[in-house]
Structure 1
Amino acid sequence: MGLPDHHLAEGELRIRAFHPHWKRLVVPFLALLVIIVASSAAIFLMPAFEYDSYARIAVAVIAVGLLTVWSFVPYLQWKNTSYVLTSHRLTISLGVLNKSSEDIPMSKVNTVSADQTLFERMLGSGTLNVESAGEQGHVTLRDIPNIQDVRAELFRAVDEADDEEPRTPRPAEP
């Protein structure tokens, strides 16, 4: 998911790989149920008339279109959004047809903070804010599952990256 093992650098270990929280799929799932129930009722309860077969086909086509836009596409977006935390970097991959990836090296991470609403605290999700010394500077990741565990693992990875970072030697004193 997100970052295949053969793309890891030598000595780089995968700490955690995950998708956004499942709560992003609640509305698409409810849309799926409503569309299926409504279109089934419309098809089976439609009175008989001269062009009823065309009307049933039209209802089915509209239902498939709505299912695609309101259920299938959000599911694909959720499934193709992945976060991979390794010992060297945090990788964010987005996109269904067009793929975009962003890597934040652990050595560049300055600040990590987490925000949670009451509802998110009950679900164990939240928003992770990562500030780095990179080009973009600030990345906000919404709907992160197990936010406190991810935050703790990210802190550990940053600390380990700082410990492994080579220090410049001081010039010898005369």
Structure 2
Amino acid sequence: MALPRKLLSKDEIVVRHMRTHPKVLLWRILIFMALLIIGAVITVLIPDADWRGGALIALWALVLVAIVPIFFIPWLRWRTTTYTVTSKRVITRSGIFNKVGHDLPLSRISDVQQERSITDRMFGCGSLSLQTSADEPLVLVDVPDVEMVQVEISNLLFHDVEGAVNADPDD
């Protein structure tokens, strides 16, 4: 879901709108699949008996209850966390029920740093730290294609909107 146009000022251009990298869901997807496989195996192994129907309902209810906190809630959290870089500011939005937003004007950014661990480099993402004069950086974690985002923000800081928009030849 893109940032609604009504949230942008008159001359503002969206340079990049993104979610955190889906790597945060990788282990959860594997656990989700393992729970489904275990449920299917137990379903096949339960003997034909009078209590089989109730046991199957209890088994799949347990699997469903386990899937909600293990996969569904983190997926919703991932789905509702977005970062948007515009020609005038960096916008963060997150939250399932309680929405949290942060708008950082580009004019307040004094330094742009990136950090990429070995796993971040494998997945092509990283953390971006936007330092302000107030010494309270805005840290964007698991930013996809973090190097390109850093270049785009740097171009915007030097008032090169065209260079920021065209920084990524794949877009």
Q: TM-score, normalised by structure 2?
A: 0.87
| Paired residues for 1:138-153 under 5 Å | 138-153=137-152
Shift of 1:41: 1.2
Shift of 1:81: 0.5
Aligned residue in 1 for 2:153: 154
Shift of 1:118: 2.3
Aligned residue in 2 for 1:125: 125
Shift of 1:48: 3.1
Query: Which whole-Å CA distance do the structure 2 matches of 1:2 and 1:35 have between them?
Result: 33
CA deviations on 1:10-52 (whole Å, 9 max, x unpaired) are 1000000001112112112111211110111112211234422
Report the aligned-residue RMSD.
Answer: 1.6
Query: Which whole-Å CA distance do the structure 2 matches of 1:98 and 1:2 have between them?
Result: 19
Query: Which whole-Å CA distance do the structure 2 matches of 1:139 and 1:52 have between them?
Result: 54
Whether 1:40 aligns to 2:40 is: yes
Highest CA radius of gyration, 1 or 2?
1
Whether 1:16 aligns to 2:31 is: no
Q: Tell me, what secondary structure is at the counterpart of 1:35? A: helix
Across the two proteins, how many residue pairs are aligned to each other? 160
Q: TM-score, normalised by structure 1?
A: 0.86
CA deviations on 1:55-89 (whole Å, 9 max, x unpaired) are 11111111111111111111111111000000111
Shift of 1:2: 5.4
| Paired residues for 1:14-163 under 5 Å | 14-133=14-133, 137-160=136-159
Code of the aligned partner of 2:17: A
Q: Tell me, what secondary structure is at the counterpart of 1:160? A: coil
Query: Which whole-Å CA distance do the structure 2 matches of 1:90 and 1:149 have between them?
Result: 15
